[in-house]
Amino acid sequence: MADSRIVKLAKILTDYSVEIKKGDIITINSGVEAKSLVLEVAKNILKKGAIPRINLELEEYPYLYYKYAKEDQLKHFPKITMYEVKNTQGFISIGTEYNTRELSNIHPKKIAIKRKVTKPIQELILKKKNWVICEFPTHALAQEADMSLNEFEKFVFKATNKNWKEEEKNQIKLKKLMDKTDRVRIVGKDTDLSFSIKDRPAKTCSGKFNMPDGEVFTSVVEDSTEGYIRYTYPVIRDGREVDDVRLWFSKGKVIKAKAKKNERLLKETLKTDKGSKTIGEFGIGFNYGINKFIKNILFDEKIGGTIHLALGQGYEETLSKNNSAIHWDMIKDLRKGGEIYFDGKLIQKDGKFVF
């Protein structure tokens, strides 16, 4: 008998997050560790008269690929994958980390090359606006979170198995305020950063594309960012931690970058393309049920009382003009001594809203 928490999550993914009509082809991307959730999702899709297509990734294959692939292989465009995406109506991606450090010793240039090549595929999926990503609780993620698997399962399902329609209602007030705002200022430890979000529509996040969810985000006017910021938590990229990231901005671009750990990776990533030094997204964490940093951005960017700024690609729906092969979220915790100002007015102090 399937775990009732998995049954509930599968129902949210197929009955709420992704719209499914009879005859639709719905792609499920996952690893084998999420077998129980994949089967529940596939069952629900079949009950709706749609066609599930399951793509399972083998453990260790990503490492094997990047270790042995030559430049011409990395630059090979996956035509078959593009054909599948063009002919698919919905996408459910289930993360199943088994080794969060798998790609630690792979040169970041190899990964950057592949990301550039596959960017058109990712853009097409985003444009279809009928997709969701989630994480299945695995031993590797539990270990990163300093929890037992049982504890981590409770943490995950508490974060995902919510009434997301009610969650959205709570986010609308902040969205309306952001829609009227020009200048944002973030103040905190070693941080005084300002930028414009004028005429950039804010979006609520209530389980349609991320699971768990819980943030309100928008884009940043590309040449408006000024000041400096010191991020609270390590930034995880391709299994590597970039710790104690500090960035300085002028006229919208990073002009100086430092990190205590993996600074080379930070600077290498900033060189990816013209858009990688510019902020593409500004988000405010709105899920106060997630109160612990677990080194997984899907959860961490939603922590109530935090903000995150993503270098690189912005979202078209927020009228972002920044294009890049990267989208790199970095989190600032404001729960101890942080402040957010909208057009000079304090709207959040120590992680709590005051408007």
Q: 179 and 223 share a domain?
A: yes
Q: 139 and 222 share a domain?
A: no
Q: How confident is the model at residue 282 (pLDDT cuts 50, 70, 90)?
A: very high
pLDDT at 335 over 90: yes
Q: 149 and 259 share a domain?
A: no
Task: Tell me which residue range forms the domain holding 108.
Answer: 4-160
Q: 288 and 244 share a domain?
A: yes
The pLDDT tens digits of the residues spanning 38-95 come to: 999 999 999 999 999 999 998 899 999 999 999 999 999 999 999 999 999 999 999 9
Last residue of a domain, one of 160, 191, 217: 160
DSSP state of 316: G
**pLDDT given at position 216:** 97
Q: 115 and 229 share a domain?
A: no
**pLDDT given at position 295:** 87
CA 138 to chain centre: 18
The residues near 171 (Cβ < 8 Å, ≥ 6 apart) are 204, 205, 206, 214, 216, 286
Q: 174 and 133 share a domain?
A: no
Please name the helix (run of DSSP H) or strand (run of DSSP E) that holds residue 150, with its range, or none: helix 149-160
Mean pLDDT (whole number) for 150-178:
93
Last residue of a domain, one of 142, 160, 178: 160
pLDDT at 239 over 80: no
Q: 279 and 344 share a domain?
A: yes
In whole angstroms, what is the distance from residue 230 CA to residue 337 CA?
Answer: 13
Q: 49 and 169 share a domain?
A: no
The DSSP code sequence of 61-108 is HHHHHHHH--HHHHT---HHHHHHHHT-SEEEEEE--S-TTTTTTS-H
**pLDDT given at position 112:** 86
Q: 317 and 227 share a domain?
A: yes
Query: Going along the chain, which residue ranges are E strands?
Result: 25-31, 51-57, 90-95, 131-135, 183-188, 191-196, 203-205, 210-211, 215-218, 226-230, 235-237, 240-242, 246-250, 253-258, 279-285, 306-312, 327-333, 339-342, 345-349, 352-353
Q: 251 and 283 share a domain?
A: yes
Q: 148 and 183 share a domain?
A: no
Count of the separate structural domains present in the chain: 2
**pLDDT given at position 281:** 97
Residues in the chain: 355
- As given in the structure block, the two tokens for residue 324 are 């890049």
Q: What percent of the chain has pLDDT over 70?
A: 99
Last residue of a domain, one of 131, 160, 189: 160
The model carries a pTM of 0.79
